[in-house]
Structure 1
Amino acid sequence: MEPRINVQKEGLQAMGALYGMGKYLSKSTLSKSFLELIYFRVSQINGCAFCLDMHSKELREMGETEQRLYLLNAWREAPFYTDRERAAFAYAEALTQITSSLVPDEIYNAAKEQFSDAELIDLTIGIIAINSYNRVNIAFGAAVGTYRIGQYA
């Protein structure tokens, strides 16, 4: 698909706000591979092909297994994810598929058991950021399949 608008060229100043989130998260105590896994899951929910291509390539480069990537959409039934990852997936889904005014207490409390306050803030910012990138790509299109590992590092 040919992009409707080349956001990297035409919207560079506007995209700077999102790039700032990435810069902030690069200093997070949450590992890059952990955040990439969350980005991949949120991109599955949103159906962002560009981000799925991008984050799957980054995750595989970081040593993530094909099995965990293939089954991520069914993480509740698959035994390959840690309790911490499961809490983050549920939290990410609640923030991505907003159905009420607050993240349900059960999901929030499970996340609080796994993450410090600072980590939960960083996780929230990461989820906000990937949802924003997904929506930009879905609105304007992106050259799916062209991403190279480290392209936006």
Structure 2
Amino acid sequence: MSLRMNYREVNAPAFRAMMALEQHAGSRSKDKVLYELVKIRVSQINGCAFCLDMHAKDLMKLGNYADHILLLSVWREAPLFTEKERVLLEFAEHVTLISQAGVPPELYHKVLEHFSEEEMVDWIMAVNTINSWNRIAITTGMFPGCFS
């Protein structure tokens, strides 16, 4: 495997802009485990190996979440996940795949049972941020360890 381009060097201002968005999104999340689960799930959907590797490792630094990582792609069938996690994972999937079905009204209201409107915006920003990172990584050919 080879990196198509190092976008960080080719366009440092674009990289700094993405980092600013990441720092904002990350600073707003009160639940770092849930934040990493969302990043991993969105990266699974988008097929981003670089981000999957990074965020699985980041989640493991927060504790032993191996079962969460292993079962995340089948979260609907795994009793391991809480109702709050399930609602947010479903929301993240719908925001990621927005062209398929949008965000159904019943899901929107379920999210508001667990999060305030302000927090919902924070989660929308978090999902949009990881979707952007995925698209950058896949387009430029990033892979686990490519910057090592």
Q: TM-score, normalised by structure 2?
A: 0.92
What is the number of equivalent residue pairs in this alignment? Answer: 148
Residues 47-91 of structure 1: CA deviation (Å, up to 9, x unaligned): 000000000000111114211110000000100111111111000
Structure with the higher fraction of residues in helix conformation: 2
Structure 1 residue 123 displacement after superposition: 0.4
Q: TM-score, normalised by structure 1?
A: 0.89
| Alpha-carbon distance between aligned partners in 2 of 1:83 and 1:11, rounded to the nearest angstrom | 41
Structure 2 counterpart of 1:151: none
Distance 1:116 1:52, change over 3 A: same
Structure 1 residue 146 displacement after superposition: 5.2
| Alpha-carbon distance between aligned partners in 1 of 2:11 and 2:42, rounded to the nearest angstrom | 23
Matching residue's letter, 2:10:
E
Structure 2 counterpart of 1:119: 119
SS of residue paired to 2:122: helix
Matching residue's letter, 1:129:
T
SS of residue paired to 1:80: coil
**Contact persistence 1:111–1:120 (CA under 8 A):** yes
Structure 2 counterpart of 1:45: 45
Root-mean-square deviation over aligned CA pairs: 1.7
| Alpha-carbon distance between aligned partners in 1 of 2:65 and 2:121, rounded to the nearest angstrom | 27
Runs of 4+ in 1 over 2 A off after TM superposition: 29-33, 99-102, 145-148
Matching residue's letter, 2:40:
F
Percent identical among aligned pairs is 39
| Alpha-carbon distance between aligned partners in 1 of 2:64 and 2:52, rounded to the nearest angstrom | 14
1:135 aligns with 2:106: no
SS of residue paired to 1:27: helix
Matching residue's letter, 1:114:
H
1:5 aligns with 2:5: yes
Distance 1:133 1:29, change over 3 A: closer
| Alpha-carbon distance between aligned partners in 2 of 1:20 and 1:73, rounded to the nearest angstrom | 29
Unaligned runs of 5+ in 1: 149-153
1:61 aligns with 2:51: no
Structure 1 residue 114 displacement after superposition: 0.9
Structure 1 residue 99 displacement after superposition: 3.1
Residues 121-146 of structure 1: CA deviation (Å, up to 9, x unaligned): 11000000000000001101114235
